[in-house]
Structure 1
Amino acid sequence: MTERQLREQECQLARYRHLEREVTDPLAAGLLHSIVEELEAELRKDCPHWHGPRD
């Protein structure tokens, strides 16, 4: 994975995390949480040195 692809994945993950915090519907929150977990797992698989966002 290139550095650019990693940044794009991290941006997408940040957007979903933000939505997860803002949503008020419990079902939507659960679905967004699942998406966040899948994106994190994908990042860890594709980039073993990735340990989380660069906040």
Structure 2
Amino acid sequence: MDDDEEQQELQDQIMRYRMMERDVTDPLALGLLHDIVAELEASLRPADE
């Protein structure tokens, strides 16, 4: 898998978790999903590279 495909997969995962965040009502689950999204976003390469 090349770098662009990996970046696209990360963006797809982020989108799925954000969609889950909208549907969840449990505060703990919401916090965990938020943390997952934050970690995935942090792993995306900077646009400057």
TM-score relative to the length of structure 2: 0.84
Counterpart position of 1:23: 24
Paired residue for 1:49? 47
RMSD value, Cα = 1.5
SS of residue paired to 2:46: coil
**Higher CA-based Rg:** 2
For 1:31 and 1:15, the matched residues in 2 are separated by 14
Q: Which has the higher contact order (CA 8 A, sep 6+)?
A: 2
Kindly state the Cα deviation for residue 3 of structure 1 after the two structures are TM-superposed: 1.1
For structure 1, list consecutive stretches of 5 or more residues without a partner in the other structure.
51-55
Task: Show structure 2 runs of 5+ residues with no match.
Answer: none
Q: Quick check: 1:35 aligned with 2:33?
A: no
Q: Distance in 1 between matches of 2:37 and 2:15?
A: 9
The count of corresponding residues between Structure 1 and Structure 2 is 47
